[in-house]
Structure 1
Amino acid sequence: MKIGIDITPLQNGHCRRGVGEYARNLLVSLLEADQQNEYVFFGYPGEAPDVFDSLSNFNLVQAGPDGDDGIWRRLKWHQYTMPRLASRFNLDVIHLLVQSFDVNIPIYRPAKMVVTIHDLKALLFPKIYLNNPSKRISYKVMINFAKKADHIITDSCHSKNDIVNKLRVSDERVSVIPLAVDPYFYQSNRDGQEDSGLTSKQYGLEKEFILFVGAIEPSKNIDALLSVYEQLVRQGRSEQLVLVGVQDPSYFKDLQNRFGYLFGTSIRFLDFIPKRDLRALYRLAKFFVYPSLYEGFGLPVLEALASGTPVITSNASSVPEVTGEAAILVDPLDLDLLQEKMVELCEDENARSALATTGVARAREFSWARCASQTAEVYQSLARGEVAA
């Protein structure tokens, strides 16, 4: 069987988000486990992602438009360049690893198409994500294309329900394949304490801190988190709040207008940081807090669990599927309860220790090898005509 995969999420802005982690770990696990099928990866010209340096059993094809990674470049790639490249290889299946405003199922399809839809947050929060006519039109086009995929993969049962109900596709055309975390987050290393000390100094973290990791955008409920943290500061709590992630400029400006007097001292924002440093931050944090309004999966939550970091997170959308009973779950709109639980973990070392232990055990229930195996089963079933189309 010949399988084509679009690797451009590793070459654009997605590479610094959860989609990039998904693409990177899935491709590595597929190639490590599957020596029978032939893989062809399609990407933009230029330097290949370093994830491929130690792998074999694939053909990397790079072509198409040069220039900035804008909407027209992506549209040309997915509607013209990639499908025509793919037609040369007599493929059985092509997999698009993300569905977004400008990543669409091609009109011309040289093979059966699988697409991964991680969430439908734009459809569920249109005032945030579809706030101008061009975005609304683009998303409507994307939805119509997505419905034409031969099969859809998603990360959680909650996302599958959204896809089936909102896109009106049959249950049989959607497979739930949970994500996992990079094994690096589990590894112990002999100089872990030295790494932690170096990371603290490098990022100017002189006090105990509470950690958030994820995009700084409205659906993550950051304004509510900062409101609660502001109350903790007024009560005399000394822990810093550290937020790591790519920032939505408009949203960040609103946060700055409201809470800017705390920025740089009590509240620290860090942009994308290397995985080595991120692991150290998880392990240094007193606990991890993630009061998101909506998640297709919630990969940072699983990373925190794997790192042995106590977690307070949302009871909304897919997050409870990830945490099981290994985290404190709160209604993300109940700020009083969020504040209560944050104070509780600040003060109760035994509670933190218990959550750390159960969190690691829970995270080990998720596996990239299993994710890759189940994804390969979708390819095989679709190629044999066994998956509903």
Structure 2
Amino acid sequence: MCGYPVKSMMKPFDIIHLSTCSMSFLAPSFKNQKVIITCHDLFTFHQVLHKRYDFNLEFKDNIKRILNFQSVKSLKKADIIIAISENTKKDIINFLDIPEEKIKVVYNGIDRTLFKPRDKNISRQKLGLPPEKFILLNVGTENERKNMVTLLKALKIISKKNRDVFLIRIGRQSEASRKYIRENKLDHCVHYFPYVEDIHLFYNAADISVFPSIYQGFGLVILEAMASGCPVITTNESAIPEVTGEAAIKVADPFEPDDFYQAIKTLYDSSSMGKAMGLKGIERSGLFSWEKCAQEIKTIYYSMS
């Protein structure tokens, strides 16, 4: 959409759907069309207004945060806002004072033809991963809300007691993680893959997926792990409980490494519990589909005509 002049888009359409808040600055340009904006999260506002998330950001990150803050304010120009979780809807109401009736919740979906249970040993063989290791998996970015260093601190505890535990990180490494791994000599028990094409196989190869996030607009990687039958350890923060229900272990304190260590140890010591959690995750993930998502958005379109 951004590759075309806005004016050329105005006449032929009755509804303009902007798929992210970062595009919401375009909303005022559409004078004669109904505008829908999909809002994935409002973490920018949490950073600005909550001391809990008072991170020491670099200058460029502060500039980006300010721009995001201004862009999100353009949500008020929308006729309908689609929030991808009840938590995001709550944030929109609380931070932007937008009437609840303007906000519709439509959950993300999952491609169940890709993310599904597979044989663990075969998956490891295809990926060239050691069959004897107890593999932890974490997928996604390492920005501040993903709370990655807390997981590394838990890994430090684990590595002293269980030498066969190994963490696979898929995504770019932050400087904070690089520094912590170097200073605590954890290179032997963590391996980074900046990018992979066969992400689905990693979920199948892992013994546990661990997501220590302190804020998620939805939590798609958590859903991917659950659909794959991989037991999930995560937090009880933001939208995460909406995705997991009771199908994951949720730690009490997202900033306490020992909580993650104890949760990991529980599944390490009991393969039967891990299997049970995996089955719960598969069942829970069945509540989410892209077909359902598309149908609900279609209903919103027709309601505006």
What is the TM-score of this pair, normalised by structure 1?
0.70
How far has the Cα of 1:105 moved from its partner?
A: 3.0
1:378 to 282, 286, 300: 300
Partner of 2:164: helix, strand, or coil? coil
Aligned residues of 2:134 and 2:165 also touching (Cα < 8 A) = yes
Counterpart of 2:214 (choices 267, 281, 293) is 293
Alignment of 1:11-22 (within 5 A): none
Instruction: Give the 3-state SS of the residue equivalent to 2:158 in structure 1.
Output: helix
Which segment drifts farther, 120-129 or 165-174?
A: 120-129
Counterpart of 1:256 in structure 2 is: 178
Structure 2 Cα separation of the partners of residues 323 and 245 of structure 1: 22
Does the CA-based 8 Å contact 2:136-2:209 persist in structure 1? yes
* Alignment RMSD (CA, Å): 2.3
Instruction: Give the equivalent residue in structure 2 for 1:21.
Output: none
AA aligned opposite 1:356: G
2:9 to 68, 83, 86: 86
Deviation at 1:280, TM superposition (A): 1.0
Identical counterparts, % of pairs: 30
Partners of 1:128 and 1:174 in 2: how far apart? 30
Aligned ranges 1:91-240 → 2 under 5 Å? 91-100=13-22, 104-109=25-30, 110-126=32-48, 127-128=54-55, 132=59, 134-187=63-116, 194-201=122-129, 207-240=133-166
Aligned match of 1:302: 223
Give distance in 1, aligned partners of 2:249 and 2:116.
24
Contact 2:124 2:131 in 1 (8 A): no
Structure 2: how far apart are the matches of 1:175 and 1:305? Answer: 25
**Paired AA for residue 241 in structure 1:** L
Q: 1:225 to 1:112 in 2, by over 3 A?
A: same
| Structure 2 gap ranges (5+) | 49-53
Equivalent pair of 1:153/1:175 in contact (CA under 8 Å) = yes
In 2, Cα distance between equivalents of 1:284 and 1:117:
33
After TM superposition, give the deviation of residue 308 of structure 1 in Å.
0.4
Contact 2:115 2:200 in 1 (8 A): no
Q: CA deviation at 1:257?
A: 1.6
Q: Name stretches of at least 5 consecutive residues in structure 1 with no aligned partner.
A: 1-41, 45-62, 64-80, 384-389
Q: TM-score, normalised by structure 2?
A: 0.89
Q: Which amino acid aligns with 2:126?
A: L
* 2:83 partner amino acid: T
What is the identity, as a one-letter code, of the residue corresponding to 2:17?
H
2:289 is equivalent to residue 363 of structure 1: no
Q: How many residues align?
A: 295
Give matches, 1:40-79, under 5 Å.
42=1, 44=3, 63=4
Could you tell me how far apart the structure 2 residues matched to 1:242 and 1:214 are? 11
Query: Within the alignment, does 1:340 sit opposite 2:266 as a pair?
Result: no
State the 1:188 CA deviation: 6.1
SS in 1 for 2:71: helix
Would the aligned equivalents of 1:163 and 1:169 in 2 still touch at CA under 8 Å?
yes
Q: Secondary structure at the match of 1:297?
A: coil
1:272–1:225: structure 2 CA closer, same or farther, 3 Å change rule? same
- On the 8 A contact 2:227/2:281 being kept in 1, the answer is yes
Which SS does the other structure have where 2:204 is aligned?
A: helix
Contact 1:105 1:146 in 2 (8 A): no
Paired with 1:173 and 1:129, the residues of 2 have a C-alpha distance of 35
